[in-house]
Structure 1
Amino acid sequence: MFFRNYFLLPLLLVLSMAGGATAQILTPTKLSVALSQPTAKVGEEVELIVNARIDDKWHLYATDFDPDLGPTVFTFSFTKSPAYELVGKPKSISSKKKYDDVFKGDITYFEKTGQMRQRIRLLQPGALTVQANVEYQTCTDIDGRCIPGEETLSFGPLPVTGAAIAATPATPAAATTAATTTAAATTPAAGEAAAAEAPVTSADTAVVVTDAAATPATSDTATAAASASAVAAAATPAANAAIPADSGLLSLAIVAFLSGLSGLLTPCVFPLIPMTVSIFTKGSANRRQGILKALFYGFSIIFIYVVLGLLTTVLLGADGLNLISTHWLPNLIFFAVFVVFGLSFLGLFEITLPNGMVNKIDEQADKGGWAGVFFMALTLVVVSFSCTGPIVGTILAMAAHGGGIQPVVGMFGFSLAFALPFMLFALFPAWLKSLPSSGGWLNTVKVVLGFVELMLALKFLSMADLAYHWNLLPRDLYLVLWITLSGLLGLYLLGRFKLSHDSDLSHLSVGRLLMAVLAFGFMTYLVPGLFGAPLPLLAGYLPPQSRNDFSIASGGTAAATSATPLNAACEAPRYEDFLELPHGLRGYFDLAQAQRCAKALNKPLFIDFTGHACVNCRKMEASVWSDPRVLQRLRDDFVVVALYVDDKAELPQSEWYTSTYDNKQKTTLGKKNADLQLSGFNVNAQPFYVLLDPTAPADLAHTLAAPVAYEPSAEAFVKFLDAGLARYRQQNP
């Protein structure tokens, strides 16, 4: 896949540059409707079916994930009708699910085809036609474009017979849901999902129905996704597949396997390998029996850990796994647990299971036979818990964020590596002589794992911090802590300091030196991130880029990163409490405000049509806008306005309007901006950059230069900016 995309890249770049100014309306998703039955009786439930055909290489976001993550959830808005009531939430049929590192949560989506269903209960006889307005978003991983969609669907007519009945009384939570209007995405939703399966009655206005997780939703909840700078991962497994087979599972299995190998090199486990194998080879009637028991011992270890992963999946279920990945409480618990594990590995204290439990299991192991071998394996798992527990907890936490069968896959990968030496050394006992002797190096492995645990703990704190906008762990502080931990690890490996359980270090081994090189190399790689470098290799682990507390001026001296304050003649930007521009730029998020400021400053407008879920927008900001030549021009020569086409913030009712483009009412900031892009420039893909005279209408006929879409060349982007600036100055001497 990598090499195929690599060779396609030049062609894509040429097409994007050539088509920037003449891009047409893209419709990668085509919707059709159906009913679950041709006729019905009053009191029956009928399903409204929406089928989607999706162009190749594109994916359509489904109904059932947290709407605050960033991508647009497929949403139904039904108008009031006494003839039916909604039953439950819309369902996505056979949608795929993955944990998205960009948006820090689980998303669901369709590829090629998709289907959503909404149940209704019939209340009156007659020919029923149900009208629903739907909003959705389709994206592609090929070049990062995202296309918002909005349609009015008509289901029916459906012949309904029988006598009229009353609507089911709504529960308080359901009534609250029913009273939510199309644009009301800014009210707290916590607690309402508990009653989502209750029948939902029609409201005086449109009824919004989604299947998203219940999390506090305010108008600024999309900020974290807005500044994400990593490229979304490739599509991952179907949520309802029995055994999802994809690169995500393979990556998890590899990480788990390597973690299992690291667990073998801890003081609790490594000394047990030769001792345990010798029991099987010397205490058996013959070599064949010893080998069979050793193999059974290894398979028992695998079985025990896989059962642990299976229990995690079954007990938590899909909702529980989704809660772990999106809710603040599980993430804070994981953060605390990982810190405890890390401090334990560093030697502050030791985590052990109760002695009574260990002794009882050990008694069963002493009984011999095949059952005794199994309990020997269980004894190993329990006794080694103080060293392997943190590693197992790490794997389960990572796997739980992926959902589905991932905990089982993670435990299988870990246990396979953990059991493999016992089986191999039983088959080839002569290899035991090649094992290094136990010693202080085992504690070194444990300490290294402790530093890794502390670094991973920050990721969970960051997830909660980003989702709820606490601003406890901004990117710069996150990087400072990682740099400090990796630097301390390097110094430890070089023997510059010792911890409580360390042996004296008479000399530095080559292996230890190489590990120190890796630690310091990692630290060095992180440092440029403090000054705005995107660090793409770690994009999935770091908070998104926004403000920087560090910068380096061109002359090598420190300088403040904040942009020059807006001129006194300009207004304070609307929406700046939850939207911001990258690289310390100051600007606007409302076109009218930006036009007034640009007129006052006699500068042209730089319009950035962008989106919270637009991966290519983040790539442009990280690799092109960060170029000093581009950044200087945007800061000094233009008034920048970022128009988010997918933002759910509700406009004041006085600003609602009916679009001349599609005759639909626009009630949110995102809909207003998307309508401007469609009606003015006949384009619906982002990113899309326009240079405009602030006194001219916002349309294609009045641009200062041909608009640009995705343009990864900073040189070409500079030429685009300079061309527009030159024409503006020519028109406004």
Structure 2
Amino acid sequence: MRNILLLFTALLFSTTLFSQIFEPIKWESNVIKESEDIYVLQFEAKLDKGWHIYSQKEVETDDIAPTATEFTFYNVEKKYELIGETTEPEGIQKYDKVFEMEIKYFEDKVLFTQKIKRLDPSLESVKAEVFFGACDDEKCLPPETMEFLLNFSNEIKRDSSSANISQIFEPIKWKSSVEQESKNIYVLQFEAKLDKGWHIYSQKEVETDDIAPTATEFTFYNEEKKYELIGETTEPEGIQKYDKVFEMEIKYFEDKVLFTQKIKRLDLSLEKVKAEVFFGICDDERCLAPEVVEFNLNLSNNSTSDSSTSVISSEDLVKSKALNVDIKGWNKFPKEDVKDQSYLKIFVLGFLGGLIALLTPCVFPMIPLTVSFFTKGAKNRKKGMMNAILYGFFIFGIYLLLSLPFHLLDSLDPEILNNISTNVTLNVIFFVIFIVFAISFFGYFEITLPASWSNKMDSKATSVGGVLGIFFMALTLALVSFSCTGPILGSLLGGSLSSDGGAVQLSFGMGGFGLALALPFALFALFPNWLNNLPKSGGWLNSVKVVLGFIELALAFKFLSNADLVEHWGILKREIFIGLWIVIGLGLGLYLFGKIRFRHDGPIQKLNLTRIVIGVATFAFVVYLVPGLTNTKYANLKLLSGFPPPLFYSIYEKETHGPLGLNAYTDFEKGVAAAKKHSKPIMIDFTGWACVNCRKMEEQVWSNPEITKILKDDYVLISLYVDDREKLKKEDRFKFLKSSGNIKSINTVGDKWATFQTLNFQNNSQPYYVLLDSEMNLLNTTTAYTPDENEYLKWLQEGITNFAKK
């Protein structure tokens, strides 16, 4: 069941991939020893220009007021005591026109301090958190919680902002406990505390094919059969109501919820039970990505513990801290904003997809029939025109609405979408789906939605009438035409899954698609004489479907290639991939020239100009692909960069991780050691096996002779693949400690480098390039996808110049 949920989540969250984290405030913490047992905890906030945070002094008012800064110190075991209150500087006090009151706030930099007395000498660290809101002159960000772990033994300044990079907003905290009911009967308890406004869903699964909330699911690891579960995991009654977002009855819990599982111990040597919970949480506006929290429940002491501390070891803690390499020089070289793909480009691509859909047998014949229905069936021509335009508007709106769930569910862990987009199972599923789409377009069967859906919509369109009736007519068209539009929409979704866009990008694509479908109905209603110029329906419509089938077949292998690259199966090397495309291209060309026929094709009496032009273009494309099969300098097919596997994933040579024959280290520590040895600067290349823009940079920009020479001779290149699913050695795997106390399992190479990038550079997009010296000093502004060769060359040269100065 979890795999199904993960797949569903992947489809919903795929379009928010590679979004950049925006934080106008950075926190640092520090511990100063004042005397034997007296310590001063310091919390310094550095704010971007124009931003401010507010005083701790709360404003006693029932009106809207700014979010007061609030510190909390966790001292459950009473190992220390607070001396006085948390202090703050004078700050700025003025009348605020927005809040209409006197407020006190801080700009630029502010230091809060809290003095404590250590009562227990064994105390090594203090856990604290600050709740705050940040505003500028135009807007305020949602209040946020930052957590700190202040270490006494080292008394070293610890940059908590670095830790915060991996801490995405977490409005839920889990605790576990064990109660012994009798000699071998135990009750395992899992308590979830939720921030105000957030809720978690019941374990009861919703049996529906529609979008549904993520059910809570517990898993108990019992490979050695040392215990047995007694009954199911119980939960309280909760709240049951109709949810407008999911359009169904749902059951959820707010504030606090306790789940319990009774077990019987069969082996007296059993001391711990390992369990995990898979869950999703939402508020009234958004949902966070489903998450897994692990527990280790100790049966011997029956104590309550925070789930994070029950599964993290001191060794894991050391490895977690080791990922933070303390990058210096951000004040000299600020991070470059990673720009989203052009929304206009995505809109145009969606529009083109809609135009293609218009030429399919499911849609094209509907144009004259529907327009004639509106223009001739109305009381007057003006009314008919308005109805047809409204019909087109509803078609546009329906496809635009399909992207709304992506906006509701786009608050994510910055690495989870990268994991989802490169998920092997998901890519293989897309491969199978596209193969099925292709076979459908070839005419061997049709993919249709249940007839009851379209019949129901059609009956409503007939019975309701008026504006609502027109809406149901538009919805009927969308359902009836699914067998032709579905594969095209699947291509749009699949393309968004592996791109750097977000929910907004998908909306632009869906909007373009809907607009292309809607325009003919409005335009032909305005100019009905144009209907006479439309070509008649016939065998050419089926030919369009078959051509689309060949295209779907070619795209299918892109998804299989993604899975092959990530898992290093070696079944789709570059030359094999290109060979398959050549075969598909030859098949398409032969079809266009009438040498191949499918089930619904009639005999071609005479080749028309369109088939000849497209057929010649297809064969020309096949000729262009042929050098890609060779081991020559012409094998770099720059026009296709990002689609075939990279040049170095080849049958002609042993696989390396360096494109264009470059020597690239795939381990950060080894790369830094080489840079020290050879006294060279470092270029970190955060990349991915399934990253299209990474391949474009390598094959279109890095292939420039000057750039290749610089990368080869003047830099130590470190390529870190954030989507590499290769398992780390057992001794290298660990639990990464988030600043919130929750953990992330670092099991693969990709897990490690994705966390490393987010932690140190507050960025999780690829490609992403960083120039450093071996002491972790920045040499230049970080950069991302830069298709301009001259601009990228200048960036590299500037890094060398700055390195020489150091």
TM-score range relative to shorter protein = 0.5 to 0.7
Q: Kindly tell me: are residues 208 and 590 of structure 1, through their superposed partners in 2, closer, same or farther at Cα, counting changes over 3 Å?
A: closer
What residue is the counterpart of 1:139 in the other structure?
none
Cα deviation code 1:510-555 (max 9, x no counterpart): 1111211222232223222333633233223232221433xxxxxx
Q: Kindly tell me: are residues 592 and 258 of structure 1, through their superposed partners in 2, closer, same or farther at Cα, counting changes over 3 Å?
A: closer
What residue is the counterpart of 1:613 in the other structure?
686
The residue type paired with residue 204 of structure 1 is: S
Richer in strand (by share): 2
1:235 aligns with 2:338: yes
Q: Kindly tell me: are residues 496 and 117 of structure 1, through their superposed partners in 2, closer, same or farther at Cα, counting changes over 3 Å?
A: same
What residue is the counterpart of 2:614 in the other structure?
515
Give the Cα separation in 1 of the matches to 2:695 and 2:605: 54
Q: Kindly tell me: are residues 507 and 196 of structure 1, through their superposed partners in 2, closer, same or farther at Cα, counting changes over 3 Å?
A: same
Q: Kindly tell me: are residues 400 and 386 of structure 1, through their superposed partners in 2, closer, same or farther at Cα, counting changes over 3 Å?
A: same
Q: Report if aligned partners of 2:684, 2:718 keep a CA contact under 8 Å in 1.
A: yes
Q: Report if aligned partners of 2:358, 2:517 keep a CA contact under 8 Å in 1.
A: yes
SS at match of 1:367: helix
Matches within 5 A, 1:449-468: 449-468=548-567
SS at match of 2:147: strand
Q: Report if aligned partners of 2:72, 2:129 keep a CA contact under 8 Å in 1.
A: no
Deviation, 1:289, is: 0.8
Give the Cα separation in 2 of the matches to 1:331 and 1:375: 35
Matches within 5 A, 1:140-289: 194-195=292-293, 200-201=308-309, 204=314, 207=317, 235-237=338-340, 247-289=341-383
Q: Kindly tell me: are residues 389 and 93 of structure 1, through their superposed partners in 2, closer, same or farther at Cα, counting changes over 3 Å?
A: farther
Give the Cα separation in 2 of the matches to 1:438 and 1:535: 39
What residue is the counterpart of 1:119 in the other structure?
146
Give the Cα separation in 2 of the matches to 1:617 and 1:408: 26
What residue is the counterpart of 2:485 in the other structure?
388
Q: Report if aligned partners of 1:323, 1:330 keep a CA contact under 8 Å in 2.
A: no
Give the Cα separation in 2 of the matches to 1:355 and 1:410: 27
The residue type paired with residue 562 of structure 2 is: M
The residue type paired with residue 364 of structure 1 is: K
Q: Report if aligned partners of 1:321, 1:403 keep a CA contact under 8 Å in 2.
A: no
SS at match of 2:314: coil
Give the Cα separation in 2 of the matches to 1:500 and 1:93: 64
Deviation, 1:299, is: 1.2
Give the Cα separation in 1 of the matches to 2:464 and 2:581: 49
2:433 pairs, out of 310, 332, 337, with 337
Give the Cα separation in 2 of the matches to 1:482 and 1:535: 13
The residue type paired with residue 83 of structure 1 is: S
What residue is the counterpart of 1:354 in the other structure?
450
The residue type paired with residue 613 of structure 1 is: F
Deviation, 1:283, is: 0.9
Q: Kindly tell me: are residues 40 and 423 of structure 1, through their superposed partners in 2, closer, same or farther at Cα, counting changes over 3 Å?
A: closer
Give the Cα separation in 2 of the matches to 1:92 and 1:489: 59
What residue is the counterpart of 2:108 in the other structure?
none
SS at match of 2:403: helix
Q: Report if aligned partners of 2:668, 2:720 keep a CA contact under 8 Å in 1.
A: no
The residue type paired with residue 536 of structure 1 is: K
Q: Report if aligned partners of 2:666, 2:721 keep a CA contact under 8 Å in 1.
A: no
Deviation, 1:625, is: 7.2
**Which range moves more in the overlay, 357-366 or 196-205?**
196-205
Give the Cα separation in 2 of the matches to 1:285 and 1:593: 79
Matches within 5 A, 1:411-430: 411-430=510-529
Deviation, 1:276, is: 1.0
Give the Cα separation in 1 of the matches to 2:571 and 2:277: 22
Give aligned-pair identity as a percent.
37
Q: Report if aligned partners of 2:74, 2:128 keep a CA contact under 8 Å in 1.
A: no
What residue is the counterpart of 1:528 in the other structure?
627
Deviation, 1:585, is: 8.2
Give the Cα separation in 1 of the matches to 2:695 and 2:532: 58
What residue is the counterpart of 1:377 in the other structure?
474
The residue type paired with residue 267 of structure 1 is: P
Deviation, 1:193, is: 5.7
Cα deviation code 1:400-424 (max 9, x no counterpart): 5533233322221111100110110
Give the Cα separation in 1 of the matches to 2:478 and 2:698: 49
2:126 pairs, out of 84, 93, 104, with 84
Q: Report if aligned partners of 2:388, 2:522 keep a CA contact under 8 Å in 1.
A: yes
Q: Report if aligned partners of 2:378, 2:384 keep a CA contact under 8 Å in 1.
A: yes
Give the Cα separation in 1 of the matches to 2:134 and 2:548: 42
Deviation, 1:612, is: 3.6
Q: CA RMSD in A?
A: 5.8
Deviation, 1:207, is: 3.3
1:545 pairs, out of 626, 639, 647, with 647
Give the Cα separation in 2 of the matches to 1:133 and 1:606: 28
Give the Cα separation in 1 of the matches to 2:619 and 2:602: 23
The residue type paired with residue 311 of structure 1 is: P
What residue is the counterpart of 2:332 in the other structure?
none
Deviation, 1:425, is: 0.4
Deviation, 1:464, is: 2.6
SS at match of 1:42: strand
What residue is the counterpart of 1:43 in the other structure?
74
Given the two structures, how large is their TM-score scaled by the length of structure 1?
0.53
Q: Kindly tell me: are residues 353 and 526 of structure 1, through their superposed partners in 2, closer, same or farther at Cα, counting changes over 3 Å?
A: same
Q: Report if aligned partners of 2:664, 2:717 keep a CA contact under 8 Å in 1.
A: no
Matches within 5 A, 1:646-685: 678=773
Give the Cα separation in 2 of the matches to 1:534 and 1:190: 47
Deviation, 1:40, is: 4.2
Deviation, 1:684, is: 5.6
Q: How many residues align?
A: 487
Matches within 5 A, 1:478-493: 478-493=577-592
Q: Kindly tell me: are residues 537 and 85 of structure 1, through their superposed partners in 2, closer, same or farther at Cα, counting changes over 3 Å?
A: farther
Deviation, 1:453, is: 1.2
Richer in helix (by share): 1
Give the Cα separation in 1 of the matches to 2:647 and 2:774: 32
What residue is the counterpart of 2:594 in the other structure?
495
Give the Cα separation in 1 of the matches to 2:420 and 2:408: 14
Q: Kindly tell me: are residues 281 and 301 of structure 1, through their superposed partners in 2, closer, same or farther at Cα, counting changes over 3 Å?
A: same
Give the Cα separation in 2 of the matches to 1:283 and 1:647: 61
Q: Report if aligned partners of 2:439, 2:549 keep a CA contact under 8 Å in 1.
A: yes
Q: Report if aligned partners of 2:638, 2:700 keep a CA contact under 8 Å in 1.
A: no
The residue type paired with residue 235 of structure 1 is: V
Cα deviation code 1:139-197 (max 9, x no counterpart): xxxxxxxxxxx99xxxxxxxxxxxxxxx977999x9xxxxxxxxxxxxxx999962289
Q: Report if aligned partners of 2:427, 2:562 keep a CA contact under 8 Å in 1.
A: yes
Q: Kindly tell me: are residues 511 and 235 of structure 1, through their superposed partners in 2, closer, same or farther at Cα, counting changes over 3 Å?
A: farther
Give the Cα separation in 1 of the matches to 2:620 and 2:522: 36
Q: Kindly tell me: are residues 647 and 526 of structure 1, through their superposed partners in 2, closer, same or farther at Cα, counting changes over 3 Å?
A: closer
**Which range moves more in the overlay, 189-198 or 477-486?**
189-198
Q: Kindly tell me: are residues 303 and 606 of structure 1, through their superposed partners in 2, closer, same or farther at Cα, counting changes over 3 Å?
A: same
Give the Cα separation in 1 of the matches to 2:668 and 2:423: 35
The residue type paired with residue 393 of structure 1 is: G
Cα deviation code 1:671-704 (max 9, x no counterpart): 9xx9x984599996799xxxxxxxxxxxxxxxxx
**Which range moves more in the overlay, 330-339 or 294-303?**
330-339
Q: Kindly tell me: are residues 622 and 93 of structure 1, through their superposed partners in 2, closer, same or farther at Cα, counting changes over 3 Å?
A: farther
Deviation, 1:457, is: 1.7
What residue is the counterpart of 2:403 in the other structure?
309
Deviation, 1:496, is: 1.8
Q: Kindly tell me: are residues 313 and 485 of structure 1, through their superposed partners in 2, closer, same or farther at Cα, counting changes over 3 Å?
A: farther
Matches within 5 A, 1:558-707: 561=653, 580-582=657-659, 610-613=683-686, 644=718, 678=773
Q: Kindly tell me: are residues 117 and 304 of structure 1, through their superposed partners in 2, closer, same or farther at Cα, counting changes over 3 Å?
A: closer
SS at match of 2:401: helix
Deviation, 1:624, is: 7.3
SS at match of 1:132: coil
Give the Cα separation in 1 of the matches to 2:777 and 2:411: 45
Q: Kindly tell me: are residues 590 and 406 of structure 1, through their superposed partners in 2, closer, same or farther at Cα, counting changes over 3 Å?
A: closer
Give the Cα separation in 1 of the matches to 2:552 and 2:391: 29
